[in-house]
């Protein structure tokens, strides 16, 4: 059976549930706050507790791979179960794993996350273009073939990214703009229509922590993951100023901003609801 493209699946779930991506970042401090031990059992209660509380209402969950990996294979097993829970709840999973390597290795990472029968299969993953946007092609190809998506880091939420992302290339365009333009071209080649249409398979990561991103997203035809809201100081109210005409493509995400209200399920649901409402 042919796969439904990622952009169409994202459009459907966000139309039904609102446009919020809740991060699952089970930091040790978060386990403390939830009254859980800093163990694999604590990790599992926290991560799967998030999906149990919010799985029926939130459109997209973004587990942060690092915070599972730190527990070794047992932590990865919890990540597998969390991804399965997200799938069973009818939400989409966007695994924040920020992979990037030479093409031949990239193909391995792609098989790890973007094949239907991969134990860690996610609906989308984050990618780092530091080895060159073109090196990401194996992941982009597999994502398209399997109705999945990728989000390429363009303008990250942390201040340390500026010196790389705003550096000008030979034609004067900042590196981040080159990533935006390359992703736009990939989406056109994949059949995506213009900026306001169903998003193409290649998304971007653009932090919501600064009002002037220094890049032009007007022609971009994919989903824009906007982290940095809440704990990093970004505000939902600023999204229209930051993203302008691209606002309709923005998938705002917050992790500690929602998780910090746990472990009570009603408080978690209220925090997620408030985030969706503030976005309008």
Ligand X SMILES: O=c1ccn([C@@H]2O[C@H](COP(=O)(O)O)[C@@H](O)[C@H]2O)c(=O)[nH]1
The yes or no reply on residue 64 touching ligand X (CB under 6 A) is yes
Q: According to the binding rule CB under 6 A, does residue 265 interact with ligand X? A: no
| Nearest distance in Å: CB 181, ligand X | 19
Residue given tokens 């705002």 in the structure block:
252
Is residue 261 a contact residue for ligand X (CB under 6 A)? Answer: no
Q: Classify 60 as helix, strand or coil.
A: strand
Q: What letter would DSSP give residue 229?
A: B
Q: What is the DSSP string of 153-222?
A: EEE-SSGGGHHHHT-B-TTS-BHHHHHHHHHHHHHHHTT--STTSS-EEEEEEE-SS-S--SS--TT--E
Per rule CB under 6 A, is residue 129 in the interface with ligand X? no
Report if residue 75 touches ligand X, rule: CB under 6 A.
Answer: no
Q: Report the Cα 61 to chain-centroid distance in Å.
A: 8
* Smallest separation, CB 228 to ligand X (Å): 5
Interface pick for ligand X out of 7, 19, 25, 125 (rule CB under 6 A): 25
The CA-based angle 247-252-256, given to 5 degrees, is: 160
Which one from 19, 98, 148, 155 is the annotated catalytic residue? 98
CA distance 90 to 171: 44
Question: For ligand X, which residue has the nearest CB?
Answer: 156
Q: Residue 108 has which token pair?
A: 């391995």
The nearest distance, CB 195 to ligand X, in angstroms, is: 22
CB of 96 to ligand X, least distance (A): 5
Q: Binder to ligand X among 55, 149, 201, 257 (CB under 6 A)? A: 257
- Cβ proximity to ligand X, 3 vs 235, nearer residue: 235
Residue at token pair 């709840």: 89
Residue with Cβ nearer ligand X (147 or 252)? 252
235 tagged catalytic: no
Structure tokens at 95: 């695994």
Which helix H or strand E contains 270, and what residues bound it? helix 265-279
Which of 130, 132, 90, 136 is CA-nearest to residue 109?
Answer: 136
Decide if residue 232 touches ligand X (CB under 6 A): yes
Segment contacting ligand X (CB under 6 A): 135-143, 191-199, 251-259, 267-275? 251-259
Note whether 223 binds ligand X by CB under 6 A: no
Q: Would you count residue 227 as binding ligand X (CB under 6 A)?
A: yes
Among 96, 146, 180, 272, binds ligand X (CB under 6 A): 96
Of the pair 142, 229, the CB lying nearest ligand X is at: 229
Which residues, including other chains, have CB under 8 Å from residue 263's CB and lie 6 or more apart?
34, 35, 36, 45, 46, 49
> Which residues in this chain contact ligand X in the complex, by CB under 6 A?
23, 25, 64, 96, 156-157, 205, 207, 227-228, 230-232, 254-257
Residues labelled as active-site residues: 98
């Amino acid at each position: 059976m042919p796969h439904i493209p990622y952009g169409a699946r994202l459009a459907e779930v966000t139309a039904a549930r609102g446009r919020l991506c809740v991060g699952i970042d089970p930091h040790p401090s978060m386990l403390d706050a939830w009254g859980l031990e800093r163990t694999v059992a604590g990790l599992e209660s926290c991560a799967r507790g998030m999906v149990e509380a919010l799985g029926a209402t939130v459109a997209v969950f973004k587990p942060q791979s690092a915070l599972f990996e730190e527990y070794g294979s047992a932590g990865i097993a919890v990540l597998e179960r969390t991804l399965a829970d997200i799938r069973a709840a009818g939400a989409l999973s966007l695994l924040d794993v920020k992979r990037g390597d030479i093409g031949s290795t990239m193909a391995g990472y792609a098989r790890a996350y973007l094949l239907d029968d991969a134990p860690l299969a996610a609906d989308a993953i984050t990618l780092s273009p530091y080895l060159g946007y073109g090196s990401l092609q194996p992941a982009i190809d597999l994502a398209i073939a399997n109705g999945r998506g990728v989000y390429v880091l363009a303008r990250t939420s942390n201040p340390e990214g500026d010196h790389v992302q705003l550096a000008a290339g030979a034609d004067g365009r900042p590196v981040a703009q080159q990533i935006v333009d390359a992703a736009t071209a990939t989406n056109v080649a994949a059949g995506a229509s213009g900026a306001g249409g169903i998003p193409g398979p290649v998304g971007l990561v653009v932090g919501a922590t600064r009002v002037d991103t220094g890049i032009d997203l007007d022609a971009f035809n994919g989903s824009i993951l906007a982290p940095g809201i809440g704990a990093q100081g970004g505000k939902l109210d600023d999204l229209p100023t930051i993203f302008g005409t691209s606002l309709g493509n923005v998938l705002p995400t917050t992790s500690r901003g929602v998780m910090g209200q746990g472990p009570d399920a009603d408080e978690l649901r209220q925090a997620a609801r408030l985030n969706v409402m503030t976005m309008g």
